[in-house]
């Protein structure tokens, strides 16, 4: 079977930036499964995997426009400190916020006496990404997986419930639980705390080992 729409694909991958620095890798937590054609992973990588079979390896180079987008100054905003109420405000803190561009992860870049500077760019925005990928499995998706828009498997995303799905309804539109938000489009790459606040992964978190 080859990678095409409505298949669940298991991949091992190493993600590098332009300078060859390793940004993310599946090594240590096993292959990542995703549902092909459901925007579980970034579009450029999904296109690069189309038509491959289990055992195939490939290097996929993805420009920013097919990865996390160009870096945009419009996503930088200054927010008065009093808007944070009692919450601590420190450089490097991340949180989810509903912005006029939808739900985004914001990072505090700078804090002064009066204001915090928030950056809504993805940390990989503006970067050309190189994925060394190996396809380890390809199978037809189950109907429930197609309905949910993501794979179901014990130990994988939303696993540990007898192969069912611990996901709550009304998840984000980016492929649901453990979606493609974090670095490298990997499963469960967001901080667990942020996931749990969103009610994303149901009981026992998202089943990831890290
Ligand atoms: Zn599900």
CA of 147 to the centre of ligand 1 (A): 8
In whole angstroms, how large is the CA radius of gyration of the chain?
18
What is the pTM for the complete model shown? 0.67
pLDDT digits 0-9 by tens, 106-154:
999 999 999 999 999 988 999 999 999 999 999 999 999 999 999 997 5
Is residue 58 domain-shared with residue 138, that is, in the same domain?
A: yes
pLDDT digits 0-9 by tens, 5-41:
999 999 999 999 999 999 999 998 889 999 999 999 9
- What is the H or E stretch that residue 10 is in? strand 7-16
CA of 198 to the centre of ligand 1 (A): 15
Rounded mean pLDDT of 44-55?
98
- CB-based contact 153:33 (threshold 8 Å): yes
**Structural domain boundaries enclosing 89:** 73-119
CA of 18 to the centre of ligand 1 (A): 34
Which CATH number does the domain housing residue 84 bear? 2.40.10.330
CA of 41 to the centre of ligand 1 (A): 16
CA of 169 to the centre of ligand 1 (A): 9
Domain's final residue, options 88, 103, 119: 119
Q: How many domains does the structure of the chain reveal?
A: 2
- Residue linked to tokens 């949180």: 95
- What is the H or E stretch that residue 111 is in? strand 102-111
CA of 131 to the centre of ligand 1 (A): 26
Is residue 78 domain-shared with residue 181, that is, in the same domain?
A: no
Q: Which residues share a beta bridge with 77?
A: 118
- CB-based contact 135:11 (threshold 8 Å): yes
Which CATH number does the domain housing residue 62 bear? 3.10.50.40
Is residue 38 domain-shared with residue 139, that is, in the same domain?
A: yes
What's residue 166's pLDDT?
A: 58
What's residue 165's pLDDT?
A: 59
- Residue linked to tokens 């197609």: 146
Q: Looking at the domain assignment, is residue 204 inside a domain?
A: no
CA of 4 to the centre of ligand 1 (A): 20
CA of 167 to the centre of ligand 1 (A): 5
- What is the H or E stretch that residue 97 is in? strand 94-99
Is residue 63 domain-shared with residue 102, that is, in the same domain?
A: no
């Amino acid at each position: 079977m080859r990678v095409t729409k409505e298949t669940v694909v298991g991949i091992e991958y190493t993600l590098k930036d332009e300078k060859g620095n390793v940004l993310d890798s599946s090594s240590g937590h096993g292959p990542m499964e995703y549902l092909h054609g459901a925007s579980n992973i970034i579009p450029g990588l999904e296109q690069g995997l189309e038509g491959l079979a289990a055992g195939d390896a490939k290097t996929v180079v993805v420009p920013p426009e097919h990865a996390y987008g160009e870096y945009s100054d419009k996503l930088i905003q200054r927010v008065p400190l009093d808007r944070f109420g009692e919450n601590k405000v420190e450089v490097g803190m991340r949180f989810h916020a509903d912005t006029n561009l939808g739900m985004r992860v914001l990072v505090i870049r700078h804090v002064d006496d009066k204001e915090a500077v928030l950056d809504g760019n993805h940390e990989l925005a503006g970067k050309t990404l190189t994925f060394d990928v190996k396809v380890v499995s390809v199978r037809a998706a189950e109907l429930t997986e197609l309905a949910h828009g993501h794979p179901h498997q014990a130990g994988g995303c939303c696993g540990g419930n007898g192969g069912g799905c611990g996901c709550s309804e009304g998840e984000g539109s980016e492929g649901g639980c453990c979606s493609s938000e974090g670095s490298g489009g990997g499963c469960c790459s967001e901080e667990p705390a942020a996931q749990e606040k969103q009610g994303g992964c149901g009981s026992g978190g998202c089943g990831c080992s890290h």
